[in-house]
Amino acid sequence: MKRQDKNSGNKKQSFIIRLIKSDFFIYIIFGVVATVVNMVAFRIFNSTLPFDVIVTQNVSYVLAWIISFFVAFFCNKFFVFKSKSMEPKIFWKEFAGFFTARIFSLFVHIGIANLCVFAGLTGDVVIGTMVFAKLLDDVSNLIGNIAEVILNYICSKLFIFKNKKPETDENK
């Protein structure tokens, strides 16, 4: 019985180690970084732009998206999918593919945010005497970011940063 428990523990540890080393886990880590950058930028723009709710939110989403796009591209390129090539042909192909996928997911994100606005799920939250300014806007932004992370991983993994076999001394 103990032997089976020991093997079971090794399998669990092996699974956890494989998971931590997987590109999906690393993608999630850097996805969190890009999402935090996006949400901080969104919050700053959404709190300071002087337009009506729809225009302010949409402009804030786009500006926050631009900033987080560059963070995400370089993190994905170098750390997640380990595409180290800076050869112009490869770099610009990856950049264009990443940009195209991100534009698509941006429209999905904006669509989700606008659905939240039209459903009345935006604005301040009041709990007792405390007002949490624009908290619901942040929640709709988070929902949009989750949808973006899923779509972008699929596109990056399957189309943009295709896994190539690493070069060894024999392949050079």
For 148-172, write each residue's pLDDT tens digit.
778 888 888 888 987 555 444 444 4
Q: How far apart are CA 89 and CA 86, in angstroms?
A: 8
For 107-147, write each residue's pLDDT tens digit.
888 888 788 878 877 777 777 777 666 777 777 878 887 88
What ranges do the domains of the chain cover?
Answer: 2-160
- 61 CB-near residues (< 8 Å, 6+ apart): 42, 106, 109, 110, 113, 141, 144
What share of the chain has pLDDT > 70, as a percent?
84
Q: Tell me the pTM.
A: 0.65
* pLDDT at residue 14 is higher than 90: no
